[in-house]
Amino acid sequence: MSRQTVLALLRQREGEFLSGEELSRRLGLSRTAVWKAVDALRKEGYTIEARTGLGYRLSGAPDALTETEIRRFLGPTERLGRELRCVDEIDSTNNYAKQIALEGAADGTVIVANCQTAGRGRMDRSFQSPRNKGIYLTALLRPELPAERLMVVTAMAGVAVCEAVEQVCGVRPRLKWPNDPVLGGRKLCGILTELSLEAETGRLQYLVLGIGLNVLQAPQDFSPEVRDIATSLAQELGRPVSRPALAAAEIAALDRLYTVLRAGDLAPYLAACRRDCVNLGKTVQLIAPDGSREAAEALDIADDFGLVVRTAAGQVKTVRSGEVSVRGMYGYVE
């Protein structure tokens, strides 16, 4: 705890020197305890200068997905992030969220990991989650809503990610239907929503919304299988991005999403999906669960966030299941 109190005081006077004597007096710690706290903070990646006669000065913070660093950037929220659990390594943030949901974890609990060893995407695909490169985040939600009103959450989450990236980076990704934020024509993020219902009543027990966002990856951080279709913010912007700041922006965007979802006015998210969807006006492939493909033209986003298409035979229909992809025809997106 002493290192957090020392950090808080140094942060209040960031850029200025504070003497060891003043730190000791104001925090009620011994000079030795102050020195040990400073040493511990340095080992965590904080840059703290020490000068004889002047004391200590905080001049840099690590790009760490810790609660301390994320809360630096996170303002008040209505529900999400009030309980924030940050871990260095985990198999899957979604798996952990489901586990703590059964243990009674609160609505709005957010889990953030620095690395996943078994990250998952849609259709049980693996999601590569290297250490110190991305943000792997899951929100645990317990909305008192019927299951049919929750089918739009994943699409809305794509919009929320775009909002967060735009806020922090000044550039807005677009969306490949149904929910993939893309930048520079390649996939930037994966989103996986899972929920549990009571068998007898159909009542929602919990919903977990998992988001893996590529932030600092270089091309060599992706496996050869996905290197041509995946990208990161650092690759596209040509500069690093603060992961704690972006994680905070994600949490805030998801908090707004949750408020809107419960209120039921989805119009702003639907408008954003229609504006940002890269598939509209393009030829796509409808890939059925059995692997069969059918070419069609993407026309619009339906009110339930399905994709309205016109087949080669002229039939107009709305796709709500399976996958729509442009892979194998024009690359990942065109």
Written as one string, the DSSP assignment of 50-91 is EETTTEEEEEE------HHHHHHH----SSTTSSEEEEEEES
Q: In this structure, are 145 and 254 located in the same domain?
A: yes
Q: Are residues 123 and 204 in the same domain?
A: yes
pLDDT at 329 over 60: no
Tell me the average pLDDT across 114-129.
75
Which domain does 313 fall in, by range? 283-325
Among 40, 60, 80, where does a domain finish?
Answer: 60
In a domain, 163, yes or no: yes
Structural domains of the chain, count: 3
Q: How much is the pLDDT for 154?
A: 93
Mean pLDDT across the stretch 9-14?
A: 84
Asked whether residue 87 falls in the same domain as residue 212, the answer is yes
Q: Is residue 109 located within the same domain as residue 86?
A: yes
Cα 133 to Cα 25, 50, 208, 323: the distances in Å are 39, 30, 22, 28
Residue 111 and residue 255 in one domain: yes
Residues 137 and 155 in one domain: yes
Measured CA to CA, the distance from residue 174 to residue 277 in angstroms comes to 6
φ and ψ at residue 8, rounded to 5 degrees: -60, -40
- Say if 21 falls within a structural domain: yes
33-42, 101-110, 287-296, range with the lowest pLDDT = 287-296
Model confidence, pTM: 0.89
CA-based nearest residue to 254, from 162, 157, 172, 181 = 157
Is residue 252 one of the residues assigned to a domain? yes
**Residue 332 domain flag:** no
Q: Is the pLDDT of residue 286 over 90?
A: no
Contact 162, 272 (CB under 8 A): yes
Residue 92 forms part of a structural domain: yes
- The CATH number of whichever domain residue 119 belongs to comes to 3.30.930.10
Q: What is the CATH number of the domain that holds 314?
A: 2.30.30
Which of 60, 87, 106 is a domain's end point? 60
Residue 168 covered by a domain: yes
Mean pLDDT of 95-103: 96
pLDDT, average across residues 113-137? 81
**Side-chain half-sphere of 83: how many Cα atoms within 13 Å?**
13
* Residue 205 and residue 117 share a domain: yes
Q: If you average pLDDT over every residue of the chain, what do you get?
A: 90
Q: Is residue 331 a part of any domain in this protein?
A: no
Judge if 97 and 241 occupy the same domain.
yes
The pLDDT of residue 280 is: 93
How far is Cα 96 from Cα 131, in angstroms, rounded to an integer? 18
Instruction: Identify the domain boundary among 60, 80, 95.
Output: 60
